Amino acid sequence: MDIKLHIYEVNSLKTHVFSVDNFVDESLIYPQIVEAANFLRRDELVAFPTETVYGLGANAKSTAAVEKIFQAKGRPSDNPLIVHIASIEQLHEIACEIPDVAYTLMNHFWPGPLTMVLKKKEGISEKVTAGLDTVAVRMPAHPVALALIRASGLPIAAPSANRSGRPSPTIAKHVLDDLEGKIAAIVDGGATGIGVESTVVDCTQPVPVILRPGGVTKEEMEQIVGEVRIDPGLEEKEATPKSPGMKYTHYAPQAPLIVVKGSPSFLQTLIDKQKTEGKKVGVLTTEEQRHHYNADVVLTCGRRSDLSTVAHRLYDVLRQFDETDVDLIYSESFPSEGIGAAIMNRLMKAAGQQQIVEK
Nearer to Mg ion, 177 or 327 (CB): 177
Q: Of residues 62, 129, 164, 170, which one binds ligand TXA by CB under 6 A?
A: 129
Nearer to Mg ion, 218 or 349 (CB): 349
Nearer to ligand TXA, 182 or 212 (CB): 212
Q: Of residues 52, 59, 90, 125, which one binds ligand TXA by CB under 6 A?
A: 52
Q: Which residue of this chain has its Cβ atom nearest to Mg ion in the complex?
A: 160
Residues pairing with 257 in the sheet: 329
Find the shortest distance in angstroms from Cβ 73 to Mg ion: 8
Residues pairing with 58 in the sheet: 157
Q: How far apart are CA 54 and CA 39, in angstroms?
A: 17
Q: Which residue type, as a one-letter code, is found at position 46?
A: V
Q: Considering CB under 6 A, how many residues would be counted as binding ligand TXA?
A: 29
Q: Of residues 76, 190, 244, 264, which one binds ligand TXA by CB under 6 A?
A: 244
Nearer to ligand TXA, 200 or 295 (CB): 200
Find the shortest distance in angstroms from Cβ 322 to ligand TXA: 19
Q: Which residue type, as a one-letter code, is found at position 322?
A: D
Contact set for Mg ion, span 147-176 (CB under 5 A): 160
Task: Using DSSP, state whether 138 is helix, strand or coil.
Answer: strand
Q: Which of 100, 95, 139, 84 is nearest to 117 (CA)?
A: 95
Q: For 226-300, list the strands marked E by DSSP.
A: 229-230, 257-261, 281-285, 297-300
Residues 293, 222: contact at Cβ < 8 Å? no
Q: Of ligand TXA, Mg ion, none, which one sits near residue 36, judging by CB under 5 to 8 A according to partner kind?
A: none
Q: Of residues 134, 268, 289, 324, which one binds ligand TXA by CB under 6 A?
A: 134
Q: Which of 186, 148, 216 is nearest to 19 (CA)?
A: 186
Find the shortest distance in angstroms from Cβ 342 to Mg ion: 13
Burial (CB < 10 A; 0-12, 13-18, 19+), residue 144, is buried
Nearer to Mg ion, 160 or 285 (CB): 160
Contact string (CB under 5 A) for Mg ion, positions 110-149, x = contact: ----------------------------------------
Q: Of residues 61, 68, 212, 319, which one binds ligand TXA by CB under 6 A?
A: 212
Helices 340-350, 307-321: axis angle to 10 degrees equals 20
Torsion (CA) 124, 125, 131, 136 in degrees, nearest 10: -50
Task: Using DSSP, state whether 325 is helix, strand or coil.
Answer: coil
Mind giving me the DSSP string for 20-43?
--TT--TTS--HHHHHHHHHHHTT
Q: Of ligand TXA, Mg ion, none, which one sits near residue 134, judging by CB under 5 to 8 A according to partner kind?
A: ligand TXA
Residues pairing with 59 in the sheet: 156
Binding site for ligand TXA (CB under 6 A): 50, 52-53, 55, 79-82, 113, 115, 117, 129, 132, 134-136, 140, 158-160, 197-198, 200, 211-212, 243-246
Binding site for Mg ion (CB under 5 A): 160
